[in-house]
Amino acid sequence: MITDSQWRDLLHTRAFESGAIAAAYAARRRRPLLGPSGTLFLVAADHPARGALGAGGDPAAMADRRSLLDRLLIALDNPAVDGVLGTPDVIEELLLLHGLHDKIVIGSMNRGGLAGADWEIDDRFTAYSAESIVDYGLDGGKMLLRLVNSDPGTAPTLHACAEAVSALAEAGVMAMVEPLPYERDAQGSLRLQDDPTSLARAVTIASGIGRTSAHTWLKLPAPADPEAVLGATTLPSLVLGGPEADMSLWDKTLCHPVVRGLVVGRTLLYPKDGDVAAAVASAAALLRSAREEISA
Protein backbone atom coordinates (compact mmCIF):
# COMPACT_ATOMS: atom_id res chain seq x y z
CA MET A 1 0.00 0.00 0.00
CA ILE A 2 2.99 2.35 0.37
CA THR A 3 4.03 3.80 -2.99
CA ASP A 4 7.63 4.73 -3.77
CA SER A 5 6.60 8.38 -3.65
CA GLN A 6 5.05 7.99 -0.20
CA TRP A 7 8.16 6.21 1.05
CA ARG A 8 10.43 8.99 -0.24
CA ASP A 9 8.18 11.58 1.38
CA LEU A 10 8.30 9.72 4.69
CA LEU A 11 12.09 9.57 4.65
CA HIS A 12 12.29 13.25 3.73
CA THR A 13 9.94 14.21 6.56
CA ARG A 14 11.97 12.14 9.02
CA ALA A 15 15.14 13.99 8.04
CA PHE A 16 13.94 17.54 7.45
CA GLU A 17 10.51 18.08 9.06
CA SER A 18 10.57 16.61 12.56
CA GLY A 19 7.89 19.09 13.62
CA ALA A 20 5.45 17.28 11.35
CA ILE A 21 5.19 14.50 13.93
CA ALA A 22 3.72 16.73 16.65
CA ALA A 23 1.37 18.19 14.07
CA ALA A 24 0.26 14.70 13.01
CA TYR A 25 -0.52 13.74 16.62
CA ALA A 26 -2.59 16.89 17.02
CA ALA A 27 -4.44 16.44 13.72
CA ARG A 28 -5.46 12.81 14.25
CA ARG A 29 -9.23 12.36 14.13
CA ARG A 30 -10.29 10.45 17.23
CA ARG A 31 -13.23 8.16 17.95
CA PRO A 32 -14.74 6.50 21.05
CA LEU A 33 -12.78 3.61 22.53
CA LEU A 34 -15.62 1.17 21.93
CA GLY A 35 -17.83 1.45 18.88
CA PRO A 36 -21.44 0.28 18.45
CA SER A 37 -20.39 -3.38 18.51
CA GLY A 38 -18.85 -3.00 21.98
CA THR A 39 -15.66 -4.71 20.79
CA LEU A 40 -12.06 -3.73 20.16
CA PHE A 41 -9.87 -5.33 17.48
CA LEU A 42 -6.28 -4.07 17.45
CA VAL A 43 -3.17 -5.03 15.51
CA ALA A 44 0.06 -5.02 17.53
CA ALA A 45 3.43 -3.81 16.30
CA ASP A 46 5.51 -3.19 19.42
CA HIS A 47 7.72 -6.28 19.08
CA PRO A 48 10.72 -4.67 17.28
CA ALA A 49 11.44 -2.24 20.13
CA ARG A 50 12.09 -5.23 22.41
CA GLY A 51 14.34 -6.84 19.80
CA ALA A 52 11.77 -9.55 18.99
CA LEU A 53 11.97 -9.51 15.19
CA GLY A 54 11.04 -13.06 14.22
CA ALA A 55 7.82 -13.87 12.38
CA GLY A 56 6.64 -16.56 10.00
CA GLY A 57 9.87 -18.54 10.24
CA ASP A 58 12.05 -15.53 9.39
CA PRO A 59 14.13 -14.46 12.43
CA ALA A 60 14.43 -10.89 11.08
CA ALA A 61 11.05 -10.44 9.38
CA MET A 62 10.04 -7.38 11.39
CA ALA A 63 13.37 -5.65 10.75
CA ASP A 64 12.09 -4.63 7.30
CA ARG A 65 10.33 -1.42 8.26
CA ARG A 66 8.67 -0.70 4.93
CA SER A 67 7.23 -4.22 4.85
CA LEU A 68 5.99 -3.88 8.44
CA LEU A 69 4.29 -0.55 7.75
CA ASP A 70 2.78 -1.91 4.54
CA ARG A 71 1.29 -4.88 6.41
CA LEU A 72 -0.06 -2.62 9.15
CA LEU A 73 -1.77 -0.37 6.60
CA ILE A 74 -3.34 -3.39 4.91
CA ALA A 75 -4.70 -4.54 8.29
CA LEU A 76 -5.92 -1.06 9.24
CA ASP A 77 -7.70 -0.75 5.91
CA ASN A 78 -10.20 -3.37 7.08
CA PRO A 79 -13.05 -1.44 8.78
CA ALA A 80 -13.35 -4.21 11.38
CA VAL A 81 -9.88 -3.30 12.68
CA ASP A 82 -10.34 -0.61 15.32
CA GLY A 83 -6.73 0.45 15.65
CA VAL A 84 -3.14 -0.30 16.51
CA LEU A 85 -0.83 -0.93 19.46
CA GLY A 86 2.73 0.28 18.94
CA THR A 87 5.81 2.13 20.09
CA PRO A 88 6.36 5.82 19.22
CA ASP A 89 8.44 5.17 16.10
CA VAL A 90 5.82 2.94 14.48
CA ILE A 91 2.86 5.06 15.57
CA GLU A 92 4.49 8.22 14.24
CA GLU A 93 5.24 6.65 10.87
CA LEU A 94 1.65 5.49 10.55
CA LEU A 95 0.52 8.99 11.46
CA LEU A 96 2.75 10.49 8.78
CA LEU A 97 1.28 7.99 6.30
CA HIS A 98 -2.24 9.16 7.31
CA GLY A 99 -3.18 5.67 8.46
CA LEU A 100 -4.60 6.41 11.91
CA HIS A 101 -7.54 8.77 11.43
CA ASP A 102 -10.67 7.45 13.19
CA LYS A 103 -8.62 4.60 14.66
CA ILE A 104 -7.80 3.71 18.26
CA VAL A 105 -4.11 4.18 19.11
CA ILE A 106 -2.61 2.44 22.15
CA GLY A 107 0.95 3.40 23.05
CA SER A 108 3.33 0.65 24.17
CA MET A 109 5.27 1.69 27.28
CA ASN A 110 7.79 -0.78 28.72
CA ARG A 111 10.06 -2.30 26.08
CA GLY A 112 13.33 -2.38 28.02
CA GLY A 113 13.15 -6.11 28.81
CA LEU A 114 14.96 -7.00 25.62
CA ALA A 115 14.25 -10.46 24.27
CA GLY A 116 16.95 -12.86 25.46
CA ALA A 117 18.70 -10.33 27.71
CA ASP A 118 19.88 -11.31 31.19
CA TRP A 119 17.66 -8.54 32.60
CA GLU A 120 14.65 -9.38 30.41
CA ILE A 121 12.17 -9.55 33.29
CA ASP A 122 13.28 -6.16 34.67
CA ASP A 123 11.19 -4.55 31.95
CA ARG A 124 12.01 -0.85 32.02
CA PHE A 125 9.71 1.83 30.59
CA THR A 126 11.63 2.98 27.52
CA ALA A 127 8.84 3.98 25.11
CA TYR A 128 5.70 6.03 25.84
CA SER A 129 5.20 7.39 29.34
CA ALA A 130 1.77 7.99 30.86
CA GLU A 131 2.33 11.74 30.49
CA SER A 132 3.21 11.49 26.79
CA ILE A 133 0.21 9.27 26.06
CA VAL A 134 -2.05 11.95 27.53
CA ASP A 135 -0.18 14.82 25.85
CA TYR A 136 -0.29 13.17 22.41
CA GLY A 137 -3.98 12.34 22.70
CA LEU A 138 -3.57 8.57 22.52
CA ASP A 139 -6.39 6.29 23.62
CA GLY A 140 -4.47 4.17 26.09
CA GLY A 141 -1.16 2.79 27.27
CA LYS A 142 -0.08 -0.83 27.25
CA MET A 143 2.42 -2.47 29.59
CA LEU A 144 3.87 -5.97 29.69
CA LEU A 145 3.99 -7.57 33.14
CA ARG A 146 5.88 -10.86 33.11
CA LEU A 147 5.76 -12.58 36.49
CA VAL A 148 8.69 -14.85 37.41
CA ASN A 149 8.83 -15.95 41.03
CA SER A 150 12.55 -16.73 40.85
CA ASP A 151 13.58 -13.49 39.13
CA PRO A 152 13.99 -10.32 41.22
CA GLY A 153 13.40 -8.28 38.05
CA THR A 154 9.68 -8.93 38.55
CA ALA A 155 9.49 -6.57 41.54
CA PRO A 156 10.59 -3.30 39.85
CA THR A 157 8.49 -4.12 36.79
CA LEU A 158 5.44 -4.73 38.97
CA HIS A 159 5.99 -1.44 40.78
CA ALA A 160 6.52 0.53 37.57
CA CYS A 161 3.37 -0.93 36.01
CA ALA A 162 1.36 -0.04 39.11
CA GLU A 163 2.57 3.56 38.90
CA ALA A 164 1.70 3.72 35.19
CA VAL A 165 -1.79 2.32 35.82
CA SER A 166 -2.36 5.00 38.46
CA ALA A 167 -1.06 7.82 36.27
CA LEU A 168 -3.18 6.81 33.29
CA ALA A 169 -6.26 6.38 35.45
CA GLU A 170 -5.80 9.85 36.93
CA ALA A 171 -6.07 11.19 33.36
CA GLY A 172 -9.05 8.96 32.58
CA VAL A 173 -7.10 6.95 30.01
CA MET A 174 -7.18 3.18 29.50
CA ALA A 175 -4.29 1.15 30.96
CA MET A 176 -3.85 -2.16 29.15
CA VAL A 177 -1.90 -4.63 31.30
CA GLU A 178 -0.56 -7.88 29.84
CA PRO A 179 0.21 -10.22 32.78
CA LEU A 180 2.10 -13.34 31.75
CA PRO A 181 3.39 -15.95 34.22
CA TYR A 182 6.78 -17.42 33.29
CA GLU A 183 9.38 -19.67 34.84
CA ARG A 184 12.95 -20.45 33.88
CA ASP A 185 13.79 -23.97 32.73
CA ALA A 186 17.00 -25.85 33.54
CA GLN A 187 18.80 -23.98 30.77
CA GLY A 188 17.64 -20.61 32.07
CA SER A 189 15.20 -19.98 29.22
CA LEU A 190 11.84 -18.37 29.97
CA ARG A 191 8.79 -20.57 29.47
CA LEU A 192 5.21 -19.32 29.56
CA GLN A 193 3.09 -21.06 32.20
CA ASP A 194 -0.22 -21.35 30.38
CA ASP A 195 -2.01 -23.67 32.80
CA PRO A 196 -5.27 -22.24 34.22
CA THR A 197 -3.96 -21.84 37.78
CA SER A 198 -0.90 -19.84 36.73
CA LEU A 199 -2.88 -17.65 34.34
CA ALA A 200 -5.64 -16.99 36.90
CA ARG A 201 -3.01 -15.98 39.47
CA ALA A 202 -1.49 -13.56 36.96
CA VAL A 203 -4.94 -12.10 36.25
CA THR A 204 -5.61 -11.43 39.93
CA ILE A 205 -2.21 -9.78 40.41
CA ALA A 206 -2.65 -7.48 37.40
CA SER A 207 -6.21 -6.60 38.41
CA GLY A 208 -5.04 -5.27 41.76
CA ILE A 209 -2.15 -2.98 40.77
CA GLY A 210 -2.42 0.79 40.84
CA ARG A 211 -4.48 3.15 42.99
CA THR A 212 -7.66 2.34 41.05
CA SER A 213 -8.70 -0.24 38.49
CA ALA A 214 -11.35 2.06 36.97
CA HIS A 215 -9.52 2.29 33.64
CA THR A 216 -7.63 -1.03 33.64
CA TRP A 217 -8.02 -3.53 30.81
CA LEU A 218 -6.24 -6.87 30.55
CA LYS A 219 -4.49 -8.43 27.55
CA LEU A 220 -4.40 -12.21 27.95
CA PRO A 221 -3.57 -15.41 26.06
CA ALA A 222 -6.52 -17.54 24.99
CA PRO A 223 -6.66 -20.15 27.78
CA ALA A 224 -7.64 -23.77 27.33
CA ASP A 225 -10.12 -23.28 30.21
CA PRO A 226 -11.58 -19.78 29.73
CA GLU A 227 -13.89 -19.86 32.74
CA ALA A 228 -11.13 -20.83 35.16
CA VAL A 229 -8.94 -17.93 33.99
CA LEU A 230 -11.36 -15.21 32.91
CA GLY A 231 -13.68 -15.92 35.81
CA ALA A 232 -10.97 -14.41 38.02
CA THR A 233 -11.75 -10.84 36.94
CA THR A 234 -14.50 -8.43 35.96
CA LEU A 235 -12.08 -6.19 34.04
CA PRO A 236 -12.61 -5.88 30.28
CA SER A 237 -10.12 -8.16 28.56
CA LEU A 238 -8.60 -8.60 25.13
CA VAL A 239 -7.23 -11.85 23.74
CA LEU A 240 -3.68 -11.79 22.43
CA GLY A 241 -2.21 -13.85 19.63
CA GLY A 242 1.44 -14.94 19.49
CA PRO A 243 3.46 -15.99 16.44
CA GLU A 244 1.90 -19.45 16.56
CA ALA A 245 -1.48 -18.52 18.04
CA ASP A 246 -4.00 -21.33 18.34
CA MET A 247 -7.03 -19.72 16.70
CA SER A 248 -9.13 -22.73 17.68
CA LEU A 249 -8.90 -21.48 21.29
CA TRP A 250 -10.15 -18.03 20.31
CA ASP A 251 -13.66 -19.33 19.63
CA LYS A 252 -14.30 -20.33 23.26
CA THR A 253 -12.43 -17.41 24.77
CA LEU A 254 -14.09 -14.71 22.66
CA CYS A 255 -17.50 -15.87 23.90
CA HIS A 256 -16.62 -15.15 27.54
CA PRO A 257 -18.50 -12.07 28.80
CA VAL A 258 -15.40 -10.19 30.07
CA VAL A 259 -13.70 -10.48 26.68
CA ARG A 260 -14.10 -7.43 24.47
CA GLY A 261 -11.91 -8.33 21.52
CA LEU A 262 -8.50 -9.15 20.10
CA VAL A 263 -4.97 -7.73 20.04
CA VAL A 264 -2.99 -9.67 17.46
CA GLY A 265 0.35 -8.96 15.85
CA ARG A 266 2.58 -11.38 14.01
CA THR A 267 -0.11 -14.01 13.51
CA LEU A 268 -2.04 -11.62 11.26
CA LEU A 269 0.76 -9.43 9.92
CA TYR A 270 2.94 -12.38 8.83
CA PRO A 271 0.56 -15.25 8.01
CA LYS A 272 2.03 -18.41 6.53
CA ASP A 273 0.38 -17.82 3.16
CA GLY A 274 1.38 -14.15 3.08
CA ASP A 275 -2.18 -12.90 2.69
CA VAL A 276 -2.49 -10.26 5.42
CA ALA A 277 -5.92 -9.07 4.32
CA ALA A 278 -7.37 -12.59 4.43
CA ALA A 279 -5.87 -13.33 7.85
CA VAL A 280 -7.31 -10.12 9.27
CA ALA A 281 -10.72 -10.84 7.73
CA SER A 282 -10.75 -14.34 9.27
CA ALA A 283 -9.96 -12.98 12.75
CA ALA A 284 -12.63 -10.29 12.36
CA ALA A 285 -15.18 -12.94 11.39
CA LEU A 286 -14.32 -14.97 14.52
CA LEU A 287 -14.83 -11.94 16.73
CA ARG A 288 -18.09 -10.99 15.02
CA SER A 289 -19.42 -14.55 15.34
CA ALA A 290 -18.54 -14.67 19.04
CA ARG A 291 -20.36 -11.42 19.76
CA GLU A 292 -23.41 -12.63 17.86
CA GLU A 293 -23.39 -15.79 19.96
CA ILE A 294 -23.25 -13.74 23.18
CA SER A 295 -26.14 -11.56 21.98
CA ALA A 296 -28.29 -14.50 20.89
Q: What is the 3-state secondary structure (H, E, C) of the chain?
A: CCCHHHHHHHHHHHHHCCHHHHHHHHHCCCCCCCCCCCCEEEEEECCHHHCCCCECCECCHHHCHHHHHHHHHHHHCCCCCCEEEECHHHHHHHHHCCCCCCCEEEEECECCCCCCCCCCCCCCECCCCHHHHHHCCCCEEEEEEEECCCCCCHHHHHHHHHHHHHHHHHCCCEEEEEEEEEEECCCCCEEECCCHHHHHHHHHHHHCCCCCCCCEEEEECCCCCHHHHHCCCCCCEEEEECCCCCHHHHHHHHCCCCEEEEEECHHHHCCCCCCHHHHHHHHHHHHHHHHHHHHC
Provide CB contacts within 8 A for 182, sequence distance 6+.
Answer: 121, 146, 147, 148, 190, 191, 192, 193
Provide CB contacts within 8 A for 112, sequence distance 6+.
Answer: 122, 123, 124, 125, 126
What pTM was computed for the model? 0.96
Backbone φ, ψ for residue 62 (5° rounding): -80, 0
CA angle 178/153/121 to nearest 5° reads 45
CA 252, distance to chain mean position in Å, is 21
Give the tens place of pLDDT for each residue, 72-117: 999 999 999 999 999 999 999 999 999 999 999 999 999 999 999 9
Q: Determine the Cα–Cα distance for residues 281 and 296; give it in Å rounded to an integer.
A: 22
Give the tens place of pLDDT for each residue, 203-255: 999 999 999 999 999 999 999 999 999 999 999 999 997 544 556 678 789 99
Q: Determine the Cα–Cα distance for residues 110 and 84; give it in Å rounded to an integer.
A: 16
Quick one: pLDDT at residue 251? 77
Residue 57: how many other CB atoms lie within 10 Å: 9
Residue 263 and residue 239 in contact, taking contact as beta carbons nearer than 8 Å: yes
Give the largest CA-CA distance in the chain: 55
The residues pairing with 238 across neighbouring beta strands, listed in sequence order, are 219, 261
Give the tens place of pLDDT for each residue, 145-160: 999 999 999 999 999 9
Report in angstroms the alpha-carbon separations of 172 from 165, 184, 218: 10, 37, 16
Report in angstroms the alpha-carbon separations of 196 from 230, 235, 239: 9, 17, 15
pLDDT at 24 over 90: yes
Residue 144 and residue 160 in contact, taking contact as beta carbons nearer than 8 Å: no
Quick one: pLDDT at residue 243? 46
**Mean pLDDT to the nearest integer, 170-175:** 98
pLDDT at 185 over 80: yes
CA 279, distance to chain mean position in Å, is 17
